[in-house]
Structure 1
Amino acid sequence: MSDILFSINDATVRYLNNTLLKNLTFTINNGQNWALIGQSGSGKSALLQTIAGRFNITGGSLTYNFGQNINNSISDNKSIGINNKLIALVEPKHHFRNLSNTSDFYYQQRYNSSDSEDALTVDNYLSEIKAIPRTDISWTLTKTLDLLNLNQLRNKQLIKLSNGETKRLMLAAALLKNPVLLLLDNPLTGLDVKTRQEFNGIIAQITASGISIIMATSVHEIPDAITNIAVLDKGNIIEQSTKASFNPSLFKQDITDHIDNAELSALLNTNKSPAIYNQIVKMNNVHIQYGEKVILDNVNWDVKPGDRWALLGPNGAGKSTLLSLINGDNPQAYANDIVLFDKKRGTGESIWDIKKKIGFVSPELHQYFPTDNSCLQVIESGYYDTLGLFRPSNADRAAIALRWMKTFEIDQYSRTLLKNVPASAQRLCLLARALIKNPSLLIFDEPCQGMDDHQQLHFKNVIDTLCKLSNVTLIYVTHYQHEIPDSVDKVLQLDKGKVV
């Protein structure tokens, strides 16, 4: 019996006109669990996609040896078809389908009760998972729901799950397939502190059951069950070692940073809003309820111009719903006492009147944002508050969009389709889109997901500089304390829909 579970030898992986991985050799033995680390765009996600059979290799070879890990009803077939069924990949984005068997979800759908009725519930979704029969392992529904703390969400519609809840559901779906190999692409993004702390034990239980894991992750978040580490750089594996012999101090990114204050100041004055407000947000005893489920319970919040707030709380605390009331996406705003930009909701202002004053980024917006525009077009669309550019590009505005791309160090992607750039670059594009019109209020919901250390530091410095140079109001959501900009000096914390 071979000790080799999977191997790829001297292979090159290309997608469109880009070489993602080159001359790659990588072997996984039975009993090993690997962490892939490296800077954004180094090839971690591409390697996972290749192992999962999503990308074709040119030259070299790719071999699976899964036969000894499954029962005799499955032949020891080396074809990609059968082996793909024994691999489960958990990606940063979900691919949920609705009851009509389409994926035609849209961002605001989760807040519109009639529209969200077409979404599957957690129970519906998990019941459709087809598992390969295994004599050595069986992840039952009960066992999986218990491990990932999903029992209380079984009747909840997928579209209404928080970002962290969605992450746990995607991992549950992968486990129910009883895979030989579980691939995790940055699984900790979007998870609150408590769940991240529990994740180490979750991974330990999964590996103890006989599943091998390969996960792309940060060098700062490597679970105890990981046995081996591969470091990637520019599409190459530059180091492989056991976890015991790996020295994290040798893996240091360049986190020196420089902000062009003069350029940022100039950008802040290209489309400056002359409007002056006394009140950005005022909420009085806000109550949001869907059926028997209370989402927000008598929330009071007063946001003045120039305030910089951190909005904190665990997954499912009500943060995204609270933001949806401000951003004009939730129709229940009309049934509550809410003032936005000195006007009470429901007194004649349109959703577009509200959105033009706000720059907004969230994991959900990233999930549903169309990806067939170029990165430059995506950023220019921020002038019009549309999800993509649906009109001829304006040369002057495109030039400003390019300047914002340079500010975020992503100008090399200006003519590339959004779907063809690394996830971290996609997020930076959406951040630039939020900033381009110089809004009065910035709402950043977990903006640093998927960014490497340098990108996080640079973004944080850009925001702090922006706050020094302007009177912009900021609401910042994160599960990582170190990501909060230094300019933030106020905190609203939610738990179970209440201010704590």
Structure 2
Amino acid sequence: MNNLLISYRNVSIRQYNSLVFEGLDFSLEKGQNWALVGKSGSGKSTFLDFIMGKASMARGEAHFPYFDRHIQEHHQDDPLFNRYKLMTQVSARHEFRNLSNTSDFYYQQRFNSCDSEDADTVATYLSTIKVVNASGAWTIQRVTERLSLTHLLDKELIKLSNGETKRLMLGAALMKNPLLLLLDNPLNGLDVAARQDFSALISEISGSGISIIMATPSTEIPDAITHVAVLENGKMISQCPANEFKPDSFYTGEQKQTNTEELKQLLSVTPSVVYDTIIGMENVSIKYGEKQILDQVNWQVREGERWALTGHNGAGKSTLLSLINGDNPQAFANKITLFDQRKGSGESIWEIKKKIGYVSPEFFQYFPMESTCLQVIESGFDDTLGLFRVSVKSRAETSLRWMKLLHISEFASELIRNVPVSIQRICMLARAMVKNPSLLILDEPCLGLDFERQEQFKNLIDEICGMSDLTLIYVSHYQHEMPASIKFTLKLEQGRVV
């Protein structure tokens, strides 16, 4: 009992006015590290939110003896200090705000030099972290060195890549030196080198006296994890020591089949236009201040080609894609051809966006969460972040057909913020596909999807490529996520093609 951090008995959890867990029993002792595994939508993120106080307990018993004793011993004179001050959570979405603290960042802000200056640098952000335990092992120096943040200290938060943002969020959490660290799929977005180092990092965190609970794929459980809990449909169906856990024991391998005839009809809703050159880049260079982001990039993509775009975190992949999707104003200062037309020769950004379907972690990060899933998908017809006009019946019907094809139609009327992350990701794919684009850009589209959803997703992309002349650009740090239809690769390193 002296080392018991948390104890839940017969607990029911309520989030967004819905009961998402019932009859939950779970306990955590000091020195234990738990992995939460399960299919997409099984409740892993909700359980982490509950521990952090972001979801309420409808019934049951909860005890926090170790936390309570720590507060009595160290913070007994501070009436505002509570157990949640001794926990930190790294979630799927960051909560960075601009310098004036009046609004959140917006999607294109990172590519506009004036607006991006309304953002803290990494160094400034880390200096504002409120440290709970000043004598803890994770100092700002150790964090910046261990998580490879030193070279990013002068970089604005808005300009960080998805993987760089993940490292910063983890570093900020560690600087607080909490008793308990909650991680929601921390490997998402990290490049190969960072993922390979992650298990050692978790061991160091545990060795410093911090207990860990992390949601993670069953195949990516760090060595320092001592126990594994399997979640399914809002229930914790099993708990065991990590050395007894069988990673694939709860996966059936079954996949929901795609309605091929319906897919053909959806792909023919909008007549396709034939192009020769989808993307043409000649010695493209992008620079922010003294920082060279892209350096003399040459790239030709013909209609119907399927490309993998690879490279380490911060290699320049997102910036390269922003030039194509019309989000980066520096595109006009470079020789770029899109859909057989030279950039800057009279076309509008919206004319370009009509021909492109786009999914990315940054897009997911900044998408408004107050729309229904159906509205999110319908907004793809207008290329807007949310539906800002009255719904059009024919477009809504087409959007719902895509939802049925992807087996998510039961979420049509749900607010996207209330559905599992995996459903949010699939909605973003449907939003990209709903207008039958000539070019589909998928930047790490499988983040947050379990193995079965990933396989289903890959098969769908391959079926679409087999039925159409769709041009594809696919970004992933995982080779097994790449669809079989990909035949070409462009690799970036420090902004250069290698």
User: TM-score higher than 0.5 here?
Assistant: yes
Alpha-carbon distance in 2 for matches of 1:428, 1:256? 15
User: 3-state SS of the aligned residue for 2:74?
Assistant: coil
**1:255-312 superposed Cα distances (whole Å, 9 cap, x missing partner):** 3342211110000011223x21111000000010111110001000000000000000
Query: What's 2:437 paired with?
Result: 439
| 8 Å contact from structure 2 (residues 38, 230) kept in 1 | yes
Distance 1:294 1:134, change over 3 A: closer
Query: What's 2:27 paired with?
Result: 27
Amino acid at match of 2:402: W
Amino acid at match of 2:298: N
| 8 Å contact from structure 1 (residues 373, 389) kept in 2 | yes
**1:70-101 superposed Cα distances (whole Å, 9 cap, x missing partner):** 79432399x99511000000001000011101
| 8 Å contact from structure 1 (residues 287, 298) kept in 2 | yes
| 8 Å contact from structure 2 (residues 71, 83) kept in 1 | no
Alpha-carbon distance in 1 for matches of 2:36, 2:77? 28
Query: What's 1:66 paired with?
Result: 67
Alpha-carbon distance in 2 for matches of 1:119, 1:102? 12
Alpha-carbon distance in 1 for matches of 2:252, 2:205? 31
| 8 Å contact from structure 2 (residues 408, 423) kept in 1 | yes
Query: What's 1:119 paired with?
Result: 119
Quote how far apart the aligned CAs of 1:250 are: 1.9
Quote how far apart the aligned CAs of 1:69 are: 5.4
Amino acid at match of 1:327: N
Alpha-carbon distance in 1 for matches of 2:389, 2:134? 54
Query: What's 1:322 paired with?
Result: 320
Query: What's 1:241 paired with?
Result: 240
| Residue 451 (str. 1) matches residue 455 (str. 2) | no
Query: What's 2:305 paired with?
Result: 307
Distance 1:268 1:140, change over 3 A: same
Instruction: Name whichever of 242-251 and 190-199 sits farther off.
Output: 242-251
Query: What's 2:165 paired with?
Result: 166
**Identical positions, percent:** 55
Which structure 2 residues correspond to residues 74-473 of structure 1 after superposition, within 5 A?
74-75=75-76, 82-133=82-133, 137-273=136-272, 275-473=273-471
Alpha-carbon distance in 2 for matches of 1:240, 1:452? 19
Query: What's 1:52 paired with?
Result: 52
**1:423-472 superposed Cα distances (whole Å, 9 cap, x missing partner):** 11111101100000001000000000000111111111111000000001
Amino acid at match of 1:248: P
| 8 Å contact from structure 1 (residues 255, 453) kept in 2 | no
| 8 Å contact from structure 1 (residues 186, 450) kept in 2 | yes
Alpha-carbon distance in 1 for matches of 2:478, 2:27? 34
Alpha-carbon distance in 2 for matches of 1:161, 1:393? 35
| 8 Å contact from structure 2 (residues 75, 81) kept in 1 | no
User: 3-state SS of the aligned residue for 2:447?
Assistant: coil
Amino acid at match of 1:224: D
Alpha-carbon distance in 2 for matches of 1:330, 1:118? 17
Amino acid at match of 1:98: N
Instruction: Name whichever of 177-186 and 99-108 sits farther off.
Output: 99-108
| 8 Å contact from structure 1 (residues 96, 103) kept in 2 | no
Alpha-carbon distance in 2 for matches of 1:53, 1:104? 23
Alpha-carbon distance in 2 for matches of 1:411, 1:84? 37
Query: What's 2:10 paired with?
Result: 10
User: 3-state SS of the aligned residue for 2:130?
Assistant: coil
| 8 Å contact from structure 2 (residues 258, 406) kept in 1 | no
**1:161-209 superposed Cα distances (whole Å, 9 cap, x missing partner):** 0000000000011001110000000000000011000101111110000
| 8 Å contact from structure 1 (residues 326, 340) kept in 2 | yes
Distance 1:210 1:68, change over 3 A: farther
Amino acid at match of 2:318: S
Amino acid at match of 1:75: Q
Alpha-carbon distance in 2 for matches of 1:119, 1:58? 39
Distance 1:142 1:134, change over 3 A: closer
Alpha-carbon distance in 1 for matches of 2:363, 2:271? 25
Amino acid at match of 2:368: P
Quote how far apart the aligned CAs of 1:55 are: 1.1
Query: What's 1:489 paired with?
Result: 487
Alpha-carbon distance in 2 for matches of 1:121, 1:70? 33
**1:104-128 superposed Cα distances (whole Å, 9 cap, x missing partner):** 3111110000011100000111111
Instruction: Name whichever of 67-76 and 176-185 sits farther off.
Output: 67-76
| 8 Å contact from structure 1 (residues 313, 319) kept in 2 | yes
User: 3-state SS of the aligned residue for 2:352?
Assistant: helix
Alpha-carbon distance in 2 for matches of 1:335, 1:143? 41
Amino acid at match of 1:140: T
Alpha-carbon distance in 2 for matches of 1:267, 1:63? 53
| 8 Å contact from structure 1 (residues 255, 457) kept in 2 | no
| 8 Å contact from structure 1 (residues 229, 240) kept in 2 | yes
Amino acid at match of 1:201: A
Amino acid at match of 1:8: Y
Alpha-carbon distance in 1 for matches of 2:158, 2:288? 13
Quote how far apart the aligned CAs of 1:489 are: 0.3
Distance 1:473 1:80, change over 3 A: farther
User: 3-state SS of the aligned residue for 1:252?
Assistant: coil
| 8 Å contact from structure 1 (residues 66, 76) kept in 2 | no
| Residue 42 (str. 1) matches residue 50 (str. 2) | no
- Give ranges in structure 1 of 5+ residues lacking alignment: none
Distance 1:71 1:202, change over 3 A: farther
User: 3-state SS of the aligned residue for 2:99?
Assistant: coil
User: 3-state SS of the aligned residue for 1:303?
Assistant: strand
Alpha-carbon distance in 2 for matches of 1:105, 1:424? 23
Quote how far apart the aligned CAs of 1:373 are: 0.9
How many equivalent residue pairs?
497
Amino acid at match of 1:220: T
Q: In angstroms, what is the RMSD of aligned CA positions?
A: 1.5
Distance 1:102 1:202, change over 3 A: farther
Quote how far apart the aligned CAs of 1:18 are: 1.8
